Amino acid sequence: MAAARVSTSDPARGLDPASRSRTPDDPSRRLRRSAAPHVPFELFETLRWSAADGFYLLELHLARLAASAAHLGFQCDLDAARHTLAAGTETLGDGTFRVCLWLNPAGHLRFAATSTDPPSAEALYRFALAGQRVDSGDDILYHKTTRREGYEGELARLAAATGCDEVIFCNERGELTEGSRTNIFLERAGRLLTPPVACGLLNGTLRQALFNDPEVAIEERVLFSGDLAAADRIFLGNSVRGLVRALPVAEPAPQHMAKG
C-alpha cells in the first residue's frame, strides 16, 4: 500500500505549509522561548553506528542538527561534525554502538559512544502514560536538546513506580505527543498513525525515514490516549532501537517477546 505523505519542504519538521502557523517559527512560540529563564543547554544527536554499516540515517541527523542550530542561533559546522564522528568511531571496534554528538552555542562538539544491542524484532517496550503534560507552545520541544529534565524526571518516577521502560506524553489538549526517547506509532488496519509534529514533539529521524519510504503506509493523525487501546499494535521507535513493539505496563506480554 502506498504511503500517505506529508510535505518535507522543512526538513527539520516535515510539516505541510498549511500547518506553518503551528510550527516553532510562529511569533507566539518565539515569545514563549525568549520569555523563559535562560538556562545553558546544548543540541545533541543520538545515532546508531556499527563497523559493518556505519552510521544509520546520518544525513537526517546532520540536517536536523543544522536546522535546529540555525533556528536557535547556534554556530554549526557540519564538516567539523562529520570529522568528529569519524574520528570518534575509529577505535570502537566490532559491535553496535549508541553514539552521542553534542553541539554547544559556540559550535564546540563533544562525542561519546556506548555499546548497545542491535535492533531486534523480539524487543518489547513497557510504557506508562505520563502524569505531566507538555505545552505544545514550548519551542524547545521541537529540537533535540539537553534541556530534558521533564522527560527524564517523569521516566524515572514512573519507572520506579510501575517498572516501565518508556513514558508516553500528552499535550495540554490531551493529544498524544511522544515518548521520553521515542516517537509513537499506532498500527491500525495496516497503516501506521503518528502524531503531527505540531502537537509538540521532536521529528525523529526514524520518523522522517518512514515518511520518506514509499513502501511504508504512514500518516499523521491527532491521537488521544484512547487510541492506544484501539490500535492493532503500538510501536515506539528511534533511530538507535528501530521500531519496537510496545505494551502498557499492565498488559501481559506475548510469550515470544523479550522486554526491551
User: What confidence score (pLDDT) does residue 152 get?
Assistant: 97
| Residues 180 and 169 sit within 8 Å (Cβ to Cβ) | yes
- Predicted confidence at residue 255, as pLDDT, reads 52
The residue out of 67, 86, 116 marking a domain boundary is: 116
What span, in angstroms and rounded, lies between the C-alpha atoms of 126 and 234?
Answer: 11
Spacing of C-alpha 138 from chain mean position: 16
**How confident is the model at residue 253, as a pLDDT?**
61
The strand order across the sheet containing 54-55 reads 54-55, 43-50, 96-103, 109-116
CB count in 10 Å sphere of residue 98: 17
Total-model pTM = 0.83
Give the rounded distance of the alpha carbon of 145 from its chain centre: 11
**Is the residue at 31 inside a domain?**
no
Residue 224: CATH number of its domain: 3.20.10.10
Same domain, 100 and 151: no
Same domain, 144 and 217: yes
Q: Are 33 and 139 in contact (CB under 8 A)?
A: yes
Q: Both 106 and 128 in a single domain?
A: no
**Cβ atoms of 11 and 63 closer than 8 Å:** yes
Last residue of a domain, one of 116, 145, 160: 116
Largest interatomic CA distance in the chain: 51
Residue 48: CATH number of its domain: 3.30.470.10
Q: What is the CA radius of gyration of the chain?
A: 18
Contact between 201 and 171 (Cβ < 8 Å): no
Q: Which residue's C-alpha cell is 507552545?
A: 137
Residue 228 grid cell? 492506544
Specify the pLDDT at position 11: 31
pLDDT at position 47 is 98
- C-alpha–C-alpha distance, residues 154 and 148, integer Å: 10
Residue 86 and residue 167 share a domain:
no
Q: Nearest to residue 110, comparing CAs of 165, 158, 45? A: 45
C-alpha cell at 69: 542550530
Reduced to 3 states (helix: H, G, I; strand: E, B; else coil), residue 185 is strand
Q: Are strands 191-194 and 183-188 parallel, antiparallel or unpaired?
A: antiparallel
List average pLDDT for each run of 10 residues in the chain, which is 260 residues long.
Answer: 32 32 33 48 98 97 98 98 98 96 98 96 96 96 97 97 97 98 98 98 98 98 98 98 96 53
Whether 66 and 148 share a structural domain: no
- Of 63, 82, 116, the residue that ends a domain is 116
pLDDT of residue 250: 85
Does 11 map to a domain? no
Containing domain of residue 125, as a range?
Answer: 120-259
Same domain flag for 74 and 107: yes
